[in-house]
Amino acid sequence: MDSHDIIILGGGLIGQTMALALDVHGLKSVVIDPVDPAGTLTTEFDGRVTAISSSSWKMFDAIGIGPRMREEACPIRRIEVRDGADGRPLDFETDDMADPLGLMLENRVLRRELWAMIQKAPHVTRKFGVTAETLDRGDHRVTACLSDGTTVTAPLLLVCEGRYSSTRDAVGINVAAWDYASMSIVTALDHAIPHQNIAHQIFYPGGPVALLPMNPGTRSALVWSLPDDHAKAAMKLGDRAFLAEVSRVTADILGDLSFAAPRALYPLHFRHTAKMTEKRLALVGDAGHGIHPIAGQGFNLGLRDVAVMAEVLVDGARLGLDLGDAQLLARYQRWRAGDVMAVTFACDSLVRLFGLPGKAARAVRRFGLDAVQRAKPVKDLFMSEARGESGNLPMMLQGLRV
Amino acid sequence: MSKASTTTTIDAAEAAHFGKLAADWWNPKGSSAMLHKLNPVRLEFIRDAIDGHWSADGSSFRPLTGKTALDVGCGAGLLCEPLARLGAQMTGVDAAPESIAIAATHAAEGGLAIDYRCADVAGMAEQFDLVTSMEVIEHVTDPADFLAALRDRLADGGLMVLSTPNRTPKSRLAMITLGEGLGAIPKGTHDWDKFLTPDEMQDLLRDAGLVAGEMRGIAFSATAGLHLSDDLSLNYIFTATRA
Ligand SMILES: Cc1cc2nc3c(=O)[nH]c(=O)nc-3n(C[C@H](O)[C@H](O)[C@H](O)COP(=O)(O)OP(=O)(O)OC[C@H]3O[C@@H](n4cnc5c(N)ncnc54)[C@H](O)[C@@H]3O)c2cc1C
């Protein structure tokens, strides 16, 4: 029987970042994931990109992968939001001197760097391609029997299984869930007119279209959300017809378009859990909140979970506390709940605000857009920091170790 | 130095009261919920004191490695277990046999080696680098004798950490009228008249040949919960070393 400080179920982007955030502080974890990413680490661009907020990036710096990835990331200097129905723009600019609003990073770069770091991490035990066959959360420890015949124990289990987390469902944490009956088509496009580090979001009743700047300066990621049937139909279009549709919905902002990656389709769901902890267990990342990608916040929210959890556990270990102690889990829950709730519902209400068809709705939306302009929720979402416990920003989101 | 420290200061009725509560001691939602909330706050003070006293690295996980520690009035081991995890070779003593039994079982199941004894500190012979006693001095029959007994257990260059409620109208309201009245603290836990003020404590320490170090308050607010503070009116925690 192998004992660790933490068992991490799920070695996706969040699970791996969690393990590294603990590793740099000397806490021992074992990461268990049925999928072995070694086989899926393609060197070719797969079209997936993620907007990483500046504070999330600081955590990558604290872990040590930030500087290496920075050269490959494309800064967002400005976000332009429009109502697609009449094209009226609303600017959200960043201060020239300050950090960029966010950095666009190809998921494959992030996967590659995390994976390389995980291989070298002295306090991480890797169990990829392995499933947890039984899981027992006892009074003193969590014990997992694994498909490779080994047994691991730790005082705490972190569930980083993504939005369809079966462990979360099995322990009976209630999830408010609905389906937006829409899907996102994700791809990357090369374009004639340079993007000048501007991200565009154009809202239509069927869903938003986002163009996100990438390197080089004539490539952007497309995230186009549409009702299910429209999305499926658009996937079936030939390349030229599809690009013509994109030019139309983006009002030709970027000039002539061509594909830089294949198209991929992602269904959009909403998942919210009021409770992120149970006895000797906590949810981290999408397992605790699956949100609409309308403001590109899902991963950032998960990284904030990671930063807070790392700080709570490192502080706890320095006090000699049992890492599964109810007081530590309560601190994580208190610190995260407000932030997760605010971002989740802001994204959902953006979807609703812009998802209403018809003229009256446009008037409401116009009113809404004025409200948007005043409240700047999109910008706030981008710039939002971990709120909660006396508004304290966790150390790792300041680029520091705990 | 003052009096000898061999007289017992255990109050049998007090010991019996805590013995009855023992079974629920490790339940974070049970009758000891307040103690579980208090524990991280006490530990924060103790950790700082350890780092300061022995110039330990504040980021290490085992600053007490190679040190012996004694917790007097250890109950079910809420403080002994963290100190053992911090690396101490740990001994816990308590007057209630029920508490010691629960403590020993809990530590064994958790894989921690802790020497638990149902004993009176006055009858002990060994000395320890760290001696702690949380919320005990207000329950003993003679605080001066009790402090003398603690002093005798302290090794040369050792560190003592104690905490106790202050005797103020606020502590009476918070701990007895509200705490025990509303059930957050088990009824009959405190006798307000036996509480000591920081000034009285300083005198007692001096008489016992000890010097008090930093004193911090443990305060409560709706937003921050229980926390370390400069307000000593409710409860205070402090270090002491041999004069
Ligand atoms: C179209 C789209 C665009 C997006 N754009 C952005 C963006 O721009 N910015 C942003 O911040 N976010 C964005 N997101 C959200 C982001 O992708 C997710 O928030 C993020 O990937 C979640 O990471 P995760 O590790 O929590 O979950 P996942 O990536 O889902 O990983 C879960 C892992 O757990 C494993 N697993 C599953 N079940 C088990 C089990 N029972 N036991 C063990 N392991 C298990 C899986 O194999 C997987 O490796 C977008 C999402 C979509 C759909």
Residue A80 pLDDT greater than 90, yes or no: no
Three-state secondary structure call for residue A105: strand
Q: What is the pLDDT of residues A368-377, one digit of tens each?
A: 444 444 444 4
User: Could you give the C-alpha distances from B152 to A10, A65, B2, B97, B162, in angstroms and in order?
Assistant: 53, 53, 11, 24, 15
Q: What was the pLDDT predicted at B188? A: 79
In this complex, the residue of A318, A327, A390 whose CB is nearest that of residue B61 is A318
Q: Maximum Cα–Cα distance for chain A, whole Å? A: 65
As a whole number of Å, the end-to-end CA separation of chain A is 30
What is the rounded distance in angstroms from the CA atom of residue A156 to the CA atom of residue A329?
10
pLDDT band at A347 (very low <50, low <70, confident <90, very high): low
Distance A163 CA to ligand 1 centre (A): 7
Mean pLDDT of chain A: 84
A312 vs B contacts (CB less than 8 Å): none
In this complex, the residue of A141, A318, A327 whose CB is nearest that of residue B39 is A327
Beta strand A198-204 with A78-83: parallel, antiparallel or unpaired?
A: parallel
Q: What are phi and psi of A77, to 5 degrees?
A: -100, -15
B40 vs A contacts (CB less than 8 Å): 316, 319, 321, 327-328
- Bridge partners (DSSP) listed for residue B6: none
Residue A84 pLDDT greater than 50, yes or no: yes
**b/e per residue, B136-166, with b = 16+ CB within 10 A?**
bbbbbeebbbbbbbbbbbbbeebbbbbbbbb
Q: What is the pLDDT of residues A25-53, one digit of tens each?
A: 999 999 999 998 876 666 666 778 888 88
Query: In tens digits, what is the pLDDT along chain B, a chain of 243 residues?
Result: 444 456 788 888 877 777 777 777 888 877 778 888 899 999 999 999 999 999 999 999 999 999 999 999 999 999 999 999 999 999 999 999 999 999 999 999 999 999 999 999 999 999 999 999 999 999 999 999 999 999 999 999 999 999 999 999 888 888 777 778 777 778 878 888 889 999 999 999 999 999 999 899 999 887 778 899 999 999 999 999 999
Q: Where does A71-217 show beta strands of DSSP type E?
A: 74-76, 78-83, 89-93, 102-106, 124-128, 132-137, 142-146, 151-154, 156-159, 176-191, 198-204, 207-214
Q: Which of A7, A33, A169 to mutate to test the pocket of ligand 1 (most atoms within 8 A of CB)?
A: A33
Residues in chain A: 402
Q: Which residues are CB-contacts of A276 (< 8 A; sequence separation ≥ 6)? A: A282, A283, A288, A305, A332, A333, A336, A337, A340
Residue whose token pair is 């103690």: B35
Which of A182, A184, A206 has its CA nearest to residue A85? A206
Residues in chain B: 243
A305, A214 contact by CB (below 8 A): no
Q: What is the pLDDT of residues A113-124, one digit of tens each?
A: 999 999 999 999
Q: Is A26 on the interface with B (CB under 8 A)?
A: yes
Residue A361 pLDDT greater than 60, yes or no: no
Which structure tokens are listed for B53?
A: 């006293």
Q: What was the pLDDT predicted at A97? A: 58
Q: What was the pLDDT predicted at B207? A: 96
Q: What DSSP designation does A6 have? A: E
Other CB atoms within a 10 A radius of the CB of residue B177 amount to 12
Q: What DSSP designation does A149 have? A: S
Q: What are phi and psi of A271, to 5 degrees?
A: -135, 130
pLDDT band at A305 (very low <50, low <70, confident <90, very high): very high
